[in-house]
Structure 1
Amino acid sequence: MDRMHSLFAEHIKVLQARVVEALKLQHFDALIIHSGQLKKAFLDDQTYPFKANPHFKHWLPVFENPNCWLVVNGIDKPKLIYFRPVDYWHKAPPEPVDFWADYFDIELLSRAELVADLLPYDRASMAYIGEHLEVAQALGIGHANPEYVLNYLHYHRSFKTDYEMHCLRQANEIAVRGHQAAKAAFLEGLSEFEINQAYLNAVGQSDNEVPYASIIALNEHAAVLHYSHPERQSPIELRSFLIDAGANFAGYASDITRTYSAKQDRFADLIKAINQLQLALIGDIKVGMRYTDLHLRSHQLLAQVLLDFGLAQGSIESLVNTEITNTFFSHGLGHVLGLQVHDVAGFMQDERGTPLAAPQAHSALRCTRIIEPRQVYTIEPGVYFIDDLLGQLKQRSEHKQVNWAKVDEFRPYGGIRIEDNIVVHSSQIENLTRDAGLD
């Protein structure tokens, strides 16, 4: 706990310094950061699962409690207005006594509509950070989500503090336990639904607590990049398993993918090749290179795999330049990771928010940043046999470069993705996923 205190103290110090600089950009006195509110389903009294404002949970590991507020100016001790209702219908959140509580002046809020009594009196020169703009207006907060302030905070959020890196390591360790349990469930012949339950049990989190809906795909379902309809019956023939699943720790996300073959067959060999490709890409990462270039490098390596497995013919250059590799690998190599799975500022080139779009031929790429120390990324190359994309390729003249009989052999397996979470240091790359024990 002493280590958590020291890590968190330095984390708050960094956030305070960032706020000082952000406030200078538009001359605000303070930021008022809202955790968010519960939302009711249309024509219903049931609410959707609560997701905290990432700007709020950046300051403290409170991500399940709505109607909380932070007042920060970068100089004074941050003020936390902590919602703790008197409510016999629901379990009230406990009083904040964890290690992080020492770093805030805390006032308890018993009714959400009384927050004005606890906020600063003159709020006209302050800025609201959150999604409920009507609430900010009703409270007389002068500005909402000012662009320059948000750009500055988003850009610098890509540089993780030691506390954040600790949280991301823990999130990976938790998720790895789930991945190992899911692999065992697959080898036992369980259904997609049952494998998902095994994963959740192992990580100790519910479907609403993990950072995103897990992708649990057997056989040809692995060709659906965001497959989200797990079947309750096991397939008659078990061929392959793709799992893309993460875990949450203190509001920080892990995002890990693995693919397995039911047999030691040619598809298993292809998995090994993509795994080697992924490790080679991680080995190629250098501080100062652009993430886009790493993505383009992944297509060159994939072209070689297509040639090695007889899926295509020609040269690496021809397979890349004619976008044949795009058919087999249609998503981006990865993204920034942190408080959100697809974290902010992936396209920002500076703290003013100057954007750089992905190349036109690779529009699904989620990141064009210059790679720098303290950044955290996913690296997730893949190869897929997607009927729609393959059908489009068949209509092009370049289809003659593809060995369609070989493609048809792999279609029943769906596809492959291997994804690790990595931290960039000045002299090395830390692989959070492999270090946590997942091969």
Structure 2
Amino acid sequence: MNAADPTSLYPQHLATLRARADEALARSGHDHLLIPSGRRHYQLFDDRDYPFAVNPHFKHWLPLTRVTDSWLVYTPGQRPKVVYLQPFDYWHVVPEAPNGWWVEHFDVQVIRTPEEALPLLPGPAARCAILGEANSALGDYLPNNPAAALDYLHYQRSYKTPYEVALMRVAQRRAAHAHRAAERAFRAGAGEFDIHMAYCEAARQDATEVPYQNIVALNTHGAVLHYTELDRDPPTESLSFLIDAGASHCGYAADITRTYAADRGSDFQAMIDAVDAAQQAMCAGVRAGVDYRQLHVDAHLALMGILRDFGVLRVSPEAALATGVSAAFFPHGLGHPIGLQVHDVAGFAASDSGGTIPRPEGHPYLRMTRVLEPGMVVTIEPGLYFIDMLLDEVKKNGHAASVDWARVDEFRPYGGIRIEDDVLCTGDAAENLTRPAFAG
């Protein structure tokens, strides 16, 4: 069997989760672990529900992302159980019978109404660590989310099992295929909405299935970090295209960003190439023992070096960093943990017992402050942008002489550049999960 086949990798993954659950329960002083899959949320004063998002702790154990009102039940020393809702329902598609690589490892009990789960849950409820949202409560079984258990489980989630990495590779391939389709649409003259549709069609996932709302930005829209408006008509002239879009597989996310220039011979394309080369060096820096905060600061210096090479900056990278000028051009963090959630948990965790590691002063948007260790998967997404309100702040703060404003005006119509890959930290060289997916 293929070593990357999740069927062969799942038993060890499950053994790892059971061992972690044993320790989490010991720390929190509970006898049983209960994880509800989640319940639908309904819009205010309406009977329409929001797109369902499964409890990430539930999909950590099971490759199920669409089943509501179901439960994972685990007691140390016992075979784990799944209480699986398969309702009598003619309003919605009923989940198919439990199947797949996970079924043989669980006792599965099918229920027809959410309330039928109640007698199948171990008691008393006070002896259970229940991880989930408040609206998942059933009788006395109200999610209590004990901190000692969550601190431990979230910290351990940073270390991906081979099973998890295999699923993330599939998500990477799906997303890379869709990114290529989006670039083709851009070069054919499509507008933002149609590029977005081309992406979703190629990914075979709609807006409720991709792991986050697609960022599809032409021209100056690339200067809006989370641009999601999607103009319906193409601009008079498309100069640049920034796309930040992912895909999901069995609950695991890919998060990829690329930037393109319409004119491959332009200075903007040359700047894209320079950022791409710098980003690959940053990806190679994902090594065990490296402080992610230092990677972020080093990224500022590398990016400011690019701006100096292109005549945008008149001061050294070190001076731009010290005065805050660099933050006007690179205003977000270098990246974040990724896995079951796009911005995965424990990016700031000091230990498996709680506490946080602070961000570097002057860098409020960094989402990862830990020292890298084998098994962690992080994004590396440096960016350079020409954002009017931030550039105005440079002037107001007395640093206008640090910038060649005529050169800024040349790049302003292009919006910005961001390049993002997902990278696995190993015991040796970094493994970029994203680049092979584009090469395949």
Q: TM over 0.5, yes or no?
A: yes
What is the CA–CA distance in structure 1 between the aligned matches of 2:139 and 2:216, rounded to whole Å? 44
Contact 1:287 1:373 (8 Å CA) reproduced: yes
Alignment of 1:5-404 (within 5 A): 5-132=7-134, 135-136=136-137, 139-141=139-141, 144-263=144-263, 264-404=265-405
Alignment of 1:408-423 (within 5 A): 408-423=409-424
What is the CA–CA distance in structure 2 between the aligned matches of 1:5 and 1:168, rounded to whole Å? 15
What is the CA–CA distance in structure 2 between the aligned matches of 1:294 and 1:247, rounded to whole Å? 26
Alignment of 1:424-439 (within 5 A): 424-437=425-438
Contact 1:240 1:260 (8 Å CA) reproduced: yes
Which string of whole-angstrom CA distances, capped at 9 and with x for unpartnered residues, describes residues 43-91 of structure 1? 1111100000000000011111110101112421111000100112211
Contact 2:291 2:372 (8 Å CA) reproduced: yes
What is the CA–CA distance in structure 1 between the aligned matches of 2:399 and 2:166, rounded to whole Å? 48
SS at match of 1:222: helix
What is the CA–CA distance in structure 2 between the aligned matches of 1:67 and 1:438, rounded to whole Å? 41
1:229 maps to amino acid: E
Structure 1 stretches of 5 or more lacking a match? none
Deviation at 1:250, TM superposition (A): 0.6
Contact 1:15 1:74 (8 Å CA) reproduced: no
What is the CA–CA distance in structure 1 between the aligned matches of 2:235 and 2:145, rounded to whole Å? 49
1:66 maps to amino acid: T
Structure 1 residue ranges, 4+ long, deviating more than 3 angstroms after superposition: none
Contact 2:284 2:429 (8 Å CA) reproduced: no
Length-normalised TM-score, structure 2: 0.97
What is the CA–CA distance in structure 2 between the aligned matches of 1:35 and 1:284, rounded to whole Å? 37
Deviation at 1:121, TM superposition (A): 4.1
SS at match of 1:416: strand
Deviation at 1:285, TM superposition (A): 2.8
1:94 maps to amino acid: E
SS at match of 1:247: strand
SS at match of 1:260: strand
- The 1:38–1:126 alpha-carbon spacing in structure 2 relative to 1, beyond 3 Å, is same
Contact 2:25 2:129 (8 Å CA) reproduced: no
Which string of whole-angstrom CA distances, capped at 9 and with x for unpartnered residues, describes residues 88-123 of structure 1? 221100001211111111001100122212212432
What is the CA–CA distance in structure 2 between the aligned matches of 1:113 and 1:43, rounded to whole Å? 25
What is the CA–CA distance in structure 1 between the aligned matches of 2:342 and 2:77, rounded to whole Å? 30
SS at match of 2:435: helix
Contact 1:36 1:131 (8 Å CA) reproduced: yes
Structure 2 stretches of 5 or more lacking a match? none
What is the CA–CA distance in structure 1 between the aligned matches of 2:378 and 2:28, rounded to whole Å? 31
1:416 maps to amino acid: I
What is the CA–CA distance in structure 1 between the aligned matches of 2:124 and 2:317, rounded to whole Å? 64
Report sequence identity in percent. 45
Deviation at 1:283, TM superposition (A): 2.0
Deviation at 1:39, TM superposition (A): 1.1
Q: Please report the RMSD computed on the Cα atoms of aligned residues, expressed in angstroms.
A: 1.3
Aligned length: 437
Contact 1:16 1:75 (8 Å CA) reproduced: no
1:67 maps to amino acid: D
* Range moving further from structure 2, 180-189 or 350-359: 350-359
1:87 maps to amino acid: D
What is the CA–CA distance in structure 2 between the aligned matches of 1:323 and 1:341, rounded to whole Å? 28
Which string of whole-angstrom CA distances, capped at 9 and with x for unpartnered residues, describes residues 230-272 of structure 1? 0010000110000000000010000000000000200000000
Deviation at 1:143, TM superposition (A): 6.5
What is the CA–CA distance in structure 1 between the aligned matches of 2:296 and 2:406, rounded to whole Å? 28
